[in-house]
Amino acid sequence: TIATPQHLVWGYNEAGRYDDTPQVIFYDQPDLRLTARREKAFDSVADLAVVTVDAPRSISTKKVYTASIKATPLNAEVWDIGRAGQWLVSPTPGYYKGSVDASPFVQVDGLPAVPGSSGGAVTLGSNLFGMVTGDIGRAGQLAWVLPAETILAELNEWGFETNIIAGPTYEPVPYGA
């Protein structure tokens, strides 16, 4: 089960315009492209959809804990791990700026969410903070991120198995620690 932005597999306003079998590329094996199945579960308000793939044995999934948005202080450092033509792990963090009024998204300032980076993981220390869904201006410096807690809740509601586990706290664990 792979959570991804709805606009990547369904289009923004044209349901069915995209291929029913999108290609999936994994960070660990960028030369491996797998054909996924586009599931009927999606939330256009949260820009969230699901694709499934039969992963080969060479791909292993690890349990990942969510970062608690409510417990995350403003200006906490978060990191983008995504793909915009090539794999990108930003050399600088973005900074959590809070919720976007009347939407399921949070804002992250300074995150290099350039076109093509939708669907990239955003991490807070060793926890999953959310998923990039779009750039909201300032030349890739202010991103909308769908919180991991929202993704987990939707996947559970839709009945999909996932390797995402609810994390109880804000844990600013640096990479490599």
pLDDT score of 5 more than 60: yes
What span, in angstroms and rounded, lies between the C-alpha atoms of 4 and 77? 23
Banded pLDDT at 175 (limits 50, 70, 90):
very low
Helical H runs in the chain? 6-9, 148-158
> Higher-confidence residue: 113 or 32?
32
Write down the pLDDT at residue 176. Answer: 46
Contact of 50 with 37, CB cutoff 8 Å = no
Amino acid 129: pLDDT: 94
- For the chain, give the mean pLDDT: 80
pLDDT of residue 58: 74
E strands, the chain, in order? 2-4, 23-25, 33-35, 37-43, 48-52, 64-65, 77-83, 87-89, 94-99, 106-109, 121-124, 127-135, 142-147, 164-165
Residues 6+ apart with CB under 8 A from 169: 68, 71
Please write the tens of the pLDDT for every residue from 69-104: 888 999 999 988 765 556 666 677 889 999 877 889
Nearest to 128 by CA among 158, 100, 155: 155
